[in-house]
Structure 1
Amino acid sequence: MTAEPPLTTREIRLVRAPEHLPRPEHFALVETPLPSPGPGQVTVRNRYFLVFPGLRTLIGRAPEGVPLPPVHVGDALFGPAVGEVVAVGPGCELRPGDEVTHLLGWREHALLPEAECAPLGSALPDPVAHLSSGAAAYAALTRLAALRPGDTVLVTGAAGAVGSLAGQVARLLGAARVVGSTRSPHKAARLRSDLGYDEVVVTGAAPFAEQLAAAVPDGIDVLLDTVGGEQLTAAVGAARRGARFALVGALSGQLSSDPGDDGARAPAEIDTFRVITLGVTLRGFSSADLGEAADEWNKQFGDWLRSGAIVFPHVRIPGIDRAPWALQELFEGRHIGTVVVEPLPG
């Protein structure tokens, strides 16, 4: 039986502008009224919401080309969420008990237009799997990089939400060799044993370009880059003729704590002579690139999960009060895969 929505709910707000990386003290858990839904509106009890590094970029500014609004002091945070409809206004097709996805995470309950909700459907066996970043990895590998059987693939940031699925997907699509990068030797072992990687470069142990050359002496055909910076520079140096690069993230900028960095830039030095002479293509990924790949991914992901061909690495953190610490832990690289918060556990 679906419970009635409360008269108030709690949400995470930005209360202080950070100078560098946001920390828990920049946020507050605030109780706020929860009005009844009006015409065309629904109230959703959030079961899980996503913790993602892109929040660093959104806090305080809206970089050009980013299709999401900035988060200013006083604003509630937001992001992908999965929840259960608990109340509906007049004229709605959704009903209490329906499970949906939407973009008003970082709160226990969300009041929003029905049009901004998407029913979960039955493609995936676990509701939390709808918060995976696998669709980005799948679209980047199949559309932007056009991965072919026998390719050698490099995935930077291999332990993150995208990378922890990208290695497995590349393997299932026929890659002959899959190499990743990570900051942690412990994570490297897990990437090799469980997540589809043949070799993993641990950043910081030695110059990245030297380690990459040793890991892929014959070069790479495909890059799925979530980091940028020196790792992208090194990937160009390791590219084979006709290599295809899909640039999905910019963690080198988003996770930077250097003075003046705000998470909205990730410069990298590119050998354009090498790009030209080898015919290397570089394409940036955006949500517009998902298209039909999103539905294709959900079906494929569901089939792979049920058959055991793929695993979904993620950590579930109970309690909305833990959300600011979950974001800090994400920045610190403490977890493998996707990080979600369960705001109302139990």
Structure 2
Amino acid sequence: MARGAFDAAVVGGGPVGGCCALALAAAGMRVALVGPRPAGPPAALAAGEADYDLRVLALTRASERILARLGLWAGIAAGRHGRFRAMRVWDAASPAAVRFDADELGEPVLGWTVEQSRIVEVLWRRLEGEAESGTLALVPARVESLEPGGAGDAHLGLDGAGATLRARLVVAADGADSRVRELAGIAVRGGPYEQRAVVATLACERPHRLTAWQRFLPDGPIALLPLDDFHRVSIVWSTTPAHADALLEMEPEAFAGAVTEAAEARLGAMTLEGPRAAYALRHQHAAAYVEGRVALVGDAAHVIHPLAG
């Protein structure tokens, strides 16, 4: 399938864009996935300096079902992944607490924890297979211009030799700073949360018991997500920028101690394993999700706090 006319052009090759392209192709549409393949595993993971990807996603049963329908879940589940059958949420400033249990809902699990690099690896293996069979086209180019098309096809101008691509539908899955959204003239509103999310992998003295733990602190929540090893968790600590900087600058032992204290030692003493990182958090919402022949999905449409994801 060469560049030219398509039923749909999906811009952005991350998990949202890749899954969207597979779903549209499965519905019988001629689909082009526009954009380069995402980078491989993080450098620290590839170099053996870290055991886990710092980007760990918590997937619900609904996400599992979507991935299964797209033929991806079996490949994801065949690799390393964690699961949680319970959630414990409590507040630092009050005795308020809530619990969720899979047994009470009649479900085998509440959700899964999967490294983002694993999802991307399985997704792109499938995308490349579909491209080889001619089901969809992979166009590793960047979008430089957009003509919405009105009653006719939309035209995407691509970098390199003035190439163009026509499509009845353009799906912007190119992230929070979406180029397609900008070219379509769709406004956004939002701003910073004045928080950063500190992420790291830690070993825990006590087993996590297939439970996701979350405590609300004055400056933001800390979440401990269970990994495949019963004595390892991935943390996401949302806090002020100044506190996030301080956490990143701490010696490993001091950082692990701060996490232990923030989690009220529910899993005993913690030990840092591998690097740490922090990401700025913001909220953003597009004025419209659909404009002419352009539709926004994922972060191109809305960006929310990871707690609400």
Q: Normalising by the residue count of structure 1, what TM-score does the alignment of the two structures yield?
A: 0.21
Going by fraction, where is helix more abundant, 1 or 2?
Answer: 1
Structure number with greater CO (CA < 8 Å, separation at least 6) is 2
Q: Normalising by the residue count of structure 2, what TM-score does the alignment of the two structures yield?
A: 0.23
Going by fraction, where is strand more abundant, 1 or 2?
Answer: 2
